[in-house]
């Protein structure tokens, strides 16, 4: 990868952060929490995106960013916040800028008509004549042709002297010159002198560049405007092009000043180090893996010491305990580096709500809390689809139409609340609406119609509610662009379970529905319950374990109606499944087996018979698919303290077939 590729990668990463910030600032203005500083921050964000895009010649992206920037600048100058209609247009612009950024990175396209319509809408919001200077944004319209009376316009020379903020803003003269070629650049001259190495300040630029263009098209002014805040831009006469620029004289003055000794106090010191660094995620992932390997080595060492006659409380034991504490702290700090706020995923939701509000003709207000709650970046990347389905479900099935809300004595505008907060080693994300709740009679009728339930079944209200997680289930009468295909909440649960999380639902008829997902803070380390079946050890995710109980004759009062063995526990009858049979292992379960009560999501609670319960421990996850292949019912592997490799079981997927198996297959 060459330097330009590195710069492009950096641009795309920074531009996404800036656009996330732009949408967040607009959301703050929409909720009434913004002020003049918020408007200015939004202006700076879109201005920076425009500058970076221009450096790489992404003219269409520059054009839309310019229109949004012009509107924000007008608001900033007027000292007012945007009204609801203008906010909607600006949020659409933010969404479109993100789409254009994705298209620039992947080589895709965005519909030109949709883009032109949005640009015209933004121009119409400007206090100036919409047919004026902003009409011909780069990439949005055909460029003006030179006047027939002036077929050979005079060359234009522009002197650029970078200021102290030029490089901090992410600009680079080499990239500027490359981008200027798209605007008629035909010659470059540099002026100024570099100071001696011991006087060199990397934050200052003593040089200036004179660029000669073969025309003075309006697009050139817009291109140069990108750098106006961080550099001095002037138009020298032709004679000045070959001479050092006057603005460069102060920077060159140190060479004419009296010589100072190397240790002179007047010599400025090196600039302070940056407060933050941008590091590739692959490097952080390698660091996380190394920490995991060290934790495994420490666990093996502790196991070996336990097998020796080393006296507890000895110096060796104390040293190992100290190392263990330091490793846990190191692990926590490394995980914190990879953490991101859930706002990264939340900021996509306002655009989704606006779009669905228009399609469904419903008035909806979305509120978001806990956006600064941090979770592993890998988890953040997997949140988009579940949140999208949850919001769609709340909009389409949860909230009533305005007329139905009026009849129920509710305000026409429905409310959806999206929140996140930490709970121990998990993050809990909730989508809650104030709609009509789940129509249980309708859900029950559909379940009977599709054979999910049979006549005579008497499910509890909670069981009826949870039918919406059944694959292919839908209560929609017709298929639309929003819903009706039966692909929604089951996708949410499967995705969350695959991440080691859990999904639950609570609904009150007439008042609303709340869907909660609980996700681990990291996918690199997990709490697990180690069990033994035969000579092999396995790890069960602790988030799925409810309790453990010894099996004896008193705990096995009979069989379920289908003949399967059951375990009576706390007044409930649980299907008893042999882990040995579920894994296809030979042999029989011992008389002194242990049952681990598992919450297997779609399969419900199941008692899982194992040979021995070894205990709870924190394990480092290793991908089985990366090192071998994907195995159904297995989510990964880990190395235990005794050096043995143990498989980490995907219990919902492993036990779903067993829950439906005939009785002879379970015992």
Q: Are residues 361 and 509 in the same domain?
A: yes
- Cβ-in-10-Å burial (0-12, 13-18, 19+) of 195 comes to middle
Task: Examine the domain organization and report whether 329 and 238 are in the same domain.
Answer: no
pLDDT in tens, 81-91: 788 888 888 98
pLDDT at residue number 275:
55
pLDDT at 111: 81
User: What is the model's pLDDT at position 588?
Assistant: 78
Q: What is the mean pLDDT of the segment spanning 26-50?
A: 85
Same domain membership, residue 223 and residue 87: no
Asked if 376 and 521 touch (Cβ cutoff 8 Å), the reply is yes
Which residues are paired to 448 by β-bridges?
none
Which DSSP helix (H) or strand (E) runs through 254?
none
d(CA 27, CA 597): 45
- What's the structural domain count of the chain? 5
- On whether both 329 and 377 belong to a single domain, the answer is no
Last residue of some domain: 338, 359, 383? Answer: 338
pLDDT for res 233: 81
Structure confidence at residue 110 (pLDDT): 80
Last residue of a domain, one of 468, 493, 520: 520
Lowest pLDDT segment from 149-153, 164-168, 658-662: 149-153
- The pLDDT score that the predictor gives to residue 476 is 62
Residue keyed to tokens 């579920």: 582
Per-residue model confidence (pLDDT) at position 411: 93
Q: Is residue 237 part of a domain?
A: yes
Who contacts 590 (Cβ-Cβ below 8 Å, separation ≥6)?
A: 611
User: Are both 516 and 537 inside the same structural domain?
Assistant: no
Q: What is the pLDDT of residue 407?
A: 92
What percentage of the chain reaches a pLDDT higher than 70? 80
Top-confidence residue, 311 or 323:
323
Query: Of 247, 272, 299, which marks where a domain is finished?
Result: 247
Same domain, 557 and 606: yes
pLDDT of residue 399: 92
pLDDT at 321: 84
Q: Is the pLDDT of residue 143 over 90?
A: no
Indicate whether 538 pLDDT > 90.
Answer: yes
167 and 211 in a single domain? The answer is: yes
Looking at the DSSP assignment, which residues form a beta bridge with residue 514? 432, 506
Whether 137 maps to a domain, the answer reads no
Distance CA(391)–CA(361), nearest Å, equals: 15
pLDDT (mean) for 443-467: 83
What does the pLDDT average to over 67-93? 85
Task: Look up the pTM and report it.
Answer: 0.58
CATH number at residue 622: 2.30.30.40
Check which CATH number belongs to the domain holding 8 and give it: 1.20.120.160
Of 144-158, 181-195, 461-475, 628-642, least confident by mean pLDDT is 144-158
Q: According to the model, what pLDDT value does residue 658 have?
A: 62
Residue 408 lies in a domain: yes
In a domain, 198, yes or no: yes
Q: What is the model's pLDDT at position 206? A: 84
Give the residue, 317 or 428, on which the prediction is more confident: 428
- Same domain? 113 vs 222: no
Both 228 and 351 in a single domain?
no
Distance (Å, rounded) from C-alpha 293 to C-alpha 327?
11
Please enumerate in sequence order all residues whose Cβ is within 8 A of that of 35, keeping only pairs 6 or more positions apart, or say none: 81
Name the packing angle between helices 84-106 and 349-360 (round to 10°): 120
Indicate which CATH number applies to the domain containing 234: 3.30.70
pLDDT digits (tens, 9 = 90+) for 477-519: 554 545 544 456 888 888 887 777 888 888 999 899 999 998 8
Give domain status of residue 295, yes or no.
yes
> Between helices 59-78 and 112-124, what is the axis angle to 10°?
20
d(CA 505, CA 496): 13
Same domain, 50 and 193: no
Residues 341-367: tens digit of each pLDDT: 888 888 788 878 888 888 889 999 999
pLDDT of 601 above 70? no
Report how far residue 184's alpha carbon sits from residue 226's, in angstroms, rounded to the nearest whole number.
17
Question: What's residue 215's pLDDT?
Answer: 60
For residue 66, the cross-strand partners are none
Mean pLDDT of 137-146: 36
Note the pLDDT tens digit of each residue in 198-241: 777 777 888 888 888 876 555 677 778 778 877 778 764 433 33
Q: What is the CA radius of gyration of the chain?
A: 32
Same domain for 633 and 651, yes or no, is: yes
The whole-number average pLDDT for the span 617-629 is: 78
pLDDT value of residue 558: 65
| 392, pLDDT greater than 60 | yes
pLDDT of 246 higher than 50: no
Angstrom distance (rounded) from CA 452 to CA 456: 12
pLDDT in tens, 267-309: 444 444 445 666 777 888 888 888 888 888 887 887 787 777 7
Report the distance separating Cα 378 and Cα 523, nearest Å.
Answer: 7
Task: Write the pLDDT tens digit of every residue in 366-381.
Answer: 998 998 888 888 888 7
Q: Within a domain: residue 257?
A: no
**Does residue 76 fall inside a structural domain?**
yes
Task: Judge if 361 and 474 occupy the same domain.
Answer: yes
Instruction: Give the bridge partners for 577, in sequence order.
Output: 608
Exposure of 262 by Cβ count < 10 A (0-12 exposed, 13-18 middle, 19+ buried)?
exposed
CATH number of the CATH domain containing 376: 3.30.565.10
SS3 444: helix
* Residue 328: domain span: 284-338
Residue 564 forms part of a structural domain: yes
């Amino acid at each position: 990868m060459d330097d330009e590729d590195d710069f492009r990668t950096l641009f795309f990463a920074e531009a996404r952060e800036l656009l996330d910030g732009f949408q967040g600032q607009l959301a703050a203005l929409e909720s009434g929490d913004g002020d003049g500083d918020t408007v200015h921050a939004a202006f700076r964000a879109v201005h920076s995106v425009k500058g970076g895009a221009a450096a790489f010649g992404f003219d269409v992206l520059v054009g839309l960013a310019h229109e949004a920037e012009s509107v924000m600048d007008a608001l900033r100058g007027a000292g007012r916040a945007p009204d609801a209609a203008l906010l909607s247009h600006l949020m659409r612009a933010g969404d479109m800028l993100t789409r254009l950024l994705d298209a620039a990175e992947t080589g895709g396209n965005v519909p030109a008509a949709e883009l032109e319509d949005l640009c015209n809408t933004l121009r119409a919001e400007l206090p100036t004549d919409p047919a004026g200077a902003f009409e011909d944004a780069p990439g949005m319209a055909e460029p003006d042709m030179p006047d027939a009376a002036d077929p050979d316009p005079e060359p234009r020379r522009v002197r650029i002297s970078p200021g102290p903020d030029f490089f901090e803003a992410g600009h680079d003269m080499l990239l500027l010159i490359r981008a200027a070629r798209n605007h008629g650049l035909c010659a470059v001259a540099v002026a100024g002198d570099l100071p001696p190495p011991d006087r060199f300040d990397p934050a200052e630029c003593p040089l200036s560049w004179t660029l000669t263009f073969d025309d003075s098209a309006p697009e050139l002014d817009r291109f140069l405007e990108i750098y106006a805040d961080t550099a001095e831009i002037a138009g020298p006469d032709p004679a000045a092009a070959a001479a050092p620029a006057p603005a460069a004289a102060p920077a060159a003055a140190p060479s004419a000043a009296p010589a100072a000794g190397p240790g002179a106090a007047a010599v400025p010191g090196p600039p302070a180090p940056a407060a933050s660094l941008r590091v590739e995620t692959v490097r952080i992932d390698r660091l996380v893996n190394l920490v995991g390997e060290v934790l495994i080595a420490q666990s093996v060492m502790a196991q070996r010491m336990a097998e020796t006659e080393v006296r507890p409380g000895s110096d060796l034991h104390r040293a190992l305990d100290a190392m263990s504490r330091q490793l846990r702290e190191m692990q926590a700090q490394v995980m914190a580096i990879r953490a991101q706020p859930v706002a990264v995923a939340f900021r996509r939701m306002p655009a989704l709500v606006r779009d669905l509000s228009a399609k469904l003709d419903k008035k909806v207000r979305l509120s978001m809390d806990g956006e600064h709650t941090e979770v592993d970046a890998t988890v953040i990347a997997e949140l988009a689809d579940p949140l999208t389905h949850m919001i769609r479900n709340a909009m389409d099935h949860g909230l009533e139409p305005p007329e139905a809300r009026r009849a129920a004595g509710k305000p026409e505008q429905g409310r959806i609340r999206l929140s996140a907060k930490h709970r121990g080693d998990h993050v809990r994300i909730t989508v809650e609406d104030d709609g009509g709740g789940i129509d249980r009679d309708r859900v029950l009728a559909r379940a009977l119609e599709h054979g999910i339930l049979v006549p005579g079944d008497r499910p509890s209200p909670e069981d009826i509610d949870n039918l919406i997680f059944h694959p292919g289930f839908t209560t929609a009468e017709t298929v639309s662009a929003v819903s009706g295909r039966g692909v929604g909440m089951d996708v949410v649960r499967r995705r969350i379970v695959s991440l080691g999380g859990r999904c639950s639902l609570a609904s009150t008829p007439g008042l609303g529905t709340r869907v909660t997902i609980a996700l681990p803070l990291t996918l690199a380390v997990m709490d697990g319950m180690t069990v033994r079946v035969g000579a092999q050890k396995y790890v069960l995710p602790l988030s799925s374990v409810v309790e453990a109980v010894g099996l004896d004759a008193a705990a096995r009062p009979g069989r379920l109606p289908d003949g399967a063995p059951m375990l009576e526990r706390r007044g409930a009858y649980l299907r008893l499944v042999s882990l040995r049979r579920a894994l296809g292992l030979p042999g029989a379960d011992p008389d002194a087996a242990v049952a681990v009560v598992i919450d297997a999501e779609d399969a419900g609670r199941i008692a899982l018979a194992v040979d021995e319960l070894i205990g709870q421990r924190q394990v480092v996850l290793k991908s089985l698919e990366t090192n071998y292949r994907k195995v159904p019912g297995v989510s990964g592997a880990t190395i235990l303290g005794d050096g043995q490799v143990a498989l980490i079981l995907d219990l919902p997927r492993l036990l779903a077939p067993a829950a439906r198996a005939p009785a002879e297959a379970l015992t």
